Homo-oligomer: A and B are copies of this chain.
Amino acid sequence: MPQRKPRNGRLTELEGAVLGVVRSEGPCTPYRVRREFLVSRSSMWSGSAGAVYPALRRLAAAGLLRAKRTEDSRKSIRYSLSPKGAAAFVSWVTDAPAATGSGLDPFRYRADALDALSPAQRKKVAREMVRLLKRSCAELERLLSKPHPEPCGGELELALHKTRLAWLEKRYGIG
Contacts and interface: CB of A to CB of B under 8 A. Distances in A.
A13 B116 contact: no
A106 B112 contact: no
A92 interface: yes
A109 to B, nearest CB: 6
B157 A104 contact: no
Interface in A101-141: 101-117, 121, 124-125, 128-129, 131-133, 136
B113 A89 contact: yes
Interface residues of A, number: 70
Given A100-B133, A105-B103, A121 B1 contact: no
Interface in A3-28: 3-5, 12-14, 16-17, 20, 23-24
Oligomeric state, in copies: 2
Given A4-B2, A45-B2, A116-B23, A100 B107 contact: yes
Interface string A27-52: 00000000000000111111000000
Contacts of A128: 94, 96
Main secondary structure on A side of the interface with B? helix
A3 to B, nearest CB: 2
A1 B104 contact: yes
- Rank and list the top 9 A-B pairs by shortest CB-CB distance, nearest first: A2-B3, A1-B3, A2-B2, A3-B3, A1-B4, A1-B2, A112-B151, A104-B104, A96-B128
Interface of A: 1-5, 12-14, 16-17, 20, 23-24, 41-46, 89-90, 92-117, 121, 124-125, 128-129, 131-133, 136, 151-153, 155-157, 159-161, 163-164, 166-167, 171
17 contacts: A1-B2, A1-B4, A3-B104, A13-B106, A16-B110, A93-B110, A94-B124, A96-B128, A98-B110, A99-B110, A100-B132, A100-B136, A100-B161, A103-B103, A103-B107, A108-B153, A115-B152
